[in-house]
Structure 1
Amino acid sequence: MSQENVADKLLWKVVGGGAVAAAAFVAKKALDGSWRAATGNPPPNNPEDPDVAWKEAIGFALLSGAVIGLAQLVAARNAAKYWRHRRGALPPGLRDVG
């Protein structure tokens, strides 16, 4: 494996991973605010806590999974699109997945 290939893989992990982490952070903040506005209550700190009602725990888990997952997908795709635009090829290993 060439030194350039190793550097590209490392750089992609930083760029792609950073984009996904930032998207998850922003999505979580937006989700918490939306939950508070919709329900009038703060989001559950830990939906696994038996003191949290099942309805609330399931609702929050489904909503947070969908919102954060979608935000991460959008961020990863946009990071890959940016990489391809700047580098002329998809990020290392992206075609190898799936």
Structure 2
Amino acid sequence: MGNLVAKLATTAAAIGASVVARKMTDGTWKFVTGKDSPSNPEDPDIDIKEAIAFAVLSGAVVGMVRMLANRQTTKVVAKGQGKSSKQLADETNK
């Protein structure tokens, strides 16, 4: 049961992190370029340099936010179950 709770909490954190990452990416893009972020960077009408820059920015932000969310979720779930973060991670990865 604890393994299921850990997986559900991690999934919920990943979904929440994706929403936060998108808002951070859009805000950062607007701050740096002064323009709205591309709605579809794969569109051939968007300049290739802009598409690549947006892909790099969004990939970095999404990766960072998801990693932080997963780390925090693991700590919280482990504490709630009276285990160490390593024990919980080992159980979740089985």
Q: Which TM-score tier does this pair reach, normalised by the shorter chain?
A: 0.7 to 0.9
Give every structure 1 segment of 4 or more consecutive aligned residues whose post-TM-superposition deviation is greater than 6 Å. none
**Structure 1 residue ranges without an equivalent (≥5):** 1-6
- Correspondence for 2:9: 15
**Structure 2 residue ranges without an equivalent (≥5):** none
Q: Is residue 2:41 matched to residue 1:47?
A: yes
**Superposed, which structure 2 residues align to 1:32-71 within 5 Å?**
32-71=26-65
CA distance in 2, matches of 1:8, 1:61: 37
* 87, 90, 94: which one aligns with 1:95: 90
CA distance in 1, matches of 2:27, 2:64: 17
SS in 1 for 2:90: coil
Report the TM-score, using the length of structure 2 for normalisation: 0.85
- Correspondence for 1:78: 72
Structure with the largest fraction of helix? 2
Report the TM-score, using the length of structure 1 for normalisation: 0.82
CA distance in 2, matches of 1:78, 1:65: 20
CA offset digits 1:40-92 (Å, max 9, x no partner): 1111111111001011000000110010111000100110011111112243x
SS in 2 for 1:95: helix
CA distance in 2, matches of 1:65, 1:34: 13
Residue identity (%):
39
- Whichever residue aligns with residue 6 of structure 2, its letter is W
CA offset digits 1:9-67 (Å, max 9, x no partner): 32222211111111121121121011112101111111111001011000000110010
